[in-house]
Amino acid sequence: MGGQFGCDYQFAGSSWVVGFEGAATGASMKNQTYAGLPLDPDVTGGLVAGNAALVSARLDFIPSGTLRVGYAWDRLLLYVKGGAAGASDKFEVLGIFTPVSNPTPFDFQGLGLRVGWTAGAGIEWAFYENWSVKVEYDYYGFGHNSVLMSDSNLGLSAPVDVKQSVQTVRLGLNVHMWSWKW
C-alpha cells in the first residue's frame, strides 16, 4: 500500500510524454533462512562445530523519485522510468552458542536505511475522464551496505555486509488533477 504524486507533460502535437513521480510504498516483505555458525568455544578452550542461526530480514518502506518517458496512443500510455530509491530494513540473527557447559542464547538486531536506484516500465490506461489505472514493474538495487548488528544481552556489536535488491509489480489507480491530454 502506498501513494504517489507526479506531473506529466505531453509535447504539443506529439504523442511523447515526459514526467516525474514521487512515490512511497509501505511494505512488509520478509524472508528468513538458516545460516551455519562458525565454530563455538568448548569448556576446554577448544572449538566445536557451531549450530545454525535463524537470519531474518524485513523491508518496511520504499520511497522513490523517478523520471519517466512514455508514448501515448489515444487513452493508453506505455512508459519507462528510472531514478533514486531508499529502503528501511530490520535485520535479526537469532540462535544459541552451544558450548557444552553453558549454552548462551543471542539475538543480534540491526536497522538499515539504504539508498539505491530504481528502474521500471509500465502501461497506464485512462478509462474515464480524469481517472487512469496502471500496471508497473519496478526493480530496486541497493548494492552492498554495512549494517551494525547488536545484542543487548551479550553486549556485543558487529557490522554485517548486506546485499539487497527488490522486484515489484504494482497496480495503481490515479486521478489527474489538472488538464491532461494523452
Q: What is the pLDDT of residue 50?
A: 59
- Looking at the domain assignment, is residue 58 inside a domain? yes
CATH of the domain at 89: 2.40.160
Give the pLDDT means over successive 10-residue stretches in the chain (182 positions): 89 93 88 74 53 86 96 95 95 78 83 94 93 96 91 86 90 82 62
Its domain, for residue 42, covers: 2-175
- Looking at the domain assignment, is residue 181 inside a domain? no
Q: What is the pLDDT of residue 117?
A: 98
- Looking at the domain assignment, is residue 96 inside a domain? yes
- Looking at the domain assignment, is residue 182 inside a domain? no
Q: What is the pLDDT of residue 104?
A: 78
- Looking at the domain assignment, is residue 180 inside a domain? no
How many domains, in total, are found in the chain?
Answer: 1
- Looking at the domain assignment, is residue 78 inside a domain? yes
- Whether residue 20 contacts residue 5, with contact meaning beta carbons closer than 8 Å, is answered with no
- Whether residue 51 contacts residue 40, with contact meaning beta carbons closer than 8 Å, is answered with yes
- Looking at the domain assignment, is residue 169 inside a domain? yes
- Looking at the domain assignment, is residue 158 inside a domain? yes
Neighbouring residues of 152: CB distance < 8 A, sequence distance ≥ 6: none
- Whether residue 99 contacts residue 118, with contact meaning beta carbons closer than 8 Å, is answered with no
